[in-house]
């Protein structure tokens, strides 16, 4: 089995067959973030609810300069028929491409296959930045669908962290200790450790925090509140 890519590595180059034609990853999304998510199978209950949920939040992903792309080991014709069925049944257009991987080659390369089945993908999420670098990987079991608001929150948090060079606390922007504030990076010397106590609000020199820009907080909260 090939070595599975990890956080911080470049997303492996590959050409894939999708419902929008053949595309090359990660170059197809160069300059944009993209969220690649796998689902166990077309025409299954939980996966159907997820595709509806992702589709309804598609514009929110686009506002964050991000695209979606799905994947399962079904054929492109199965994907097309299922997407057609979702549109007819729920009046929901699936706007993103879906990778057809009937031989499981892509799923195996990305570590998406279920331990108990060589032909069934778990619910994996890859968050890839505009340079093609993997920034986050999430795994969900077949039995539980994903929370789309949390994926959007994660994406927004990564972007804020990159932009302002700060870490973000648990449940940001609504953390139990520091609310919507950002965590100041750790000091690099004893002198800096003592000086930062005068420059920031701190619980101690290794846990200091500062205000996040208001517009970033409002956008993040809006993503969490929207259903």
Q: Could you give the CA distance from residue 192 to residue 9 in angstroms, rounded to a whole number?
A: 31
If you ran DSSP here, which 8-state letter would residue 211 be given? Answer: P
- 70 φ/ψ angles, rounded to the nearest 5 degrees: -95, 175
Under 8 Å between Cβ of 121 and 115: no
118 to 12, 22, 50, 107: CA distances (angstroms): 21, 24, 22, 10
Cβ-proximal residues to 167 (8 Å cutoff; 6+ apart), any chain: 161, 182, 183, 185
Residue 160, classified by CB atoms within 10 Å of its CB into exposed (0-12), middle (13-18) or buried (19+), is buried
Catalytic one among 25, 47, 86, 183? 47
Residue 83, classified by CB atoms within 10 Å of its CB into exposed (0-12), middle (13-18) or buried (19+), is buried
Q: What 3-state class would DSSP assign to 215? A: helix
Cβ-proximal residues to 203 (8 Å cutoff; 6+ apart), any chain: 177
202 is catalytic: no
If you ran DSSP here, which 8-state letter would residue 57 be given? Answer: T
Q: List, by residue number, the catalytic residues.
A: 47
């Amino acid at each position: 089995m090939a070595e599975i890519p990890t956080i911080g590595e470049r997303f492996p180059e590959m050409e894939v067959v999708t419902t929008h034609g053949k595309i090359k990853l990660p170059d197809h999304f160069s300059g944009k973030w993209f969220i690649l998510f796998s689902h166990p199978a077309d025409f299954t209950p939980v996966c159907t609810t997820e595709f509806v949920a992702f589709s309804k939040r598609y514009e929110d992903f686009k506002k964050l300069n991000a695209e979606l792309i799905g994947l399962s080991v079904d054929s492109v014709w199965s994907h097309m028929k299922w997407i057609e069925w979702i549109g007819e049944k729920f009046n929901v257009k699936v706007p993103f491409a879906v990778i057809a991987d009937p031989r499981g080659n892509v799923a195996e390369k990305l570590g998406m296959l279920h331990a108990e089945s060589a032909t069934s993908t778990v619910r994996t999420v890859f968050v890839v930045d505009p340079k093609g670098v993997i920034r986050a990987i999430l795994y969900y079991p077949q039995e539980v669908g994903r929370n789309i608001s949390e994926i959007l929150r994660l994406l927004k948090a990564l972007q804020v962290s990159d932009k302002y060079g700060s870490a973000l606390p648990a449940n940001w922007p609504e953390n139990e200790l520091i609310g919507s504030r950002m965590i100041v990076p750790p000091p690099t010397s004893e002198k800096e450790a003592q000086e930062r106590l005068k420059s920031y609000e701190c619980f101690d020199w290794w846990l200091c925090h500062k205000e996040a820009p208001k517009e970033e907080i409002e956008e993040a909260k809006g993503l969490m509140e929207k259903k």
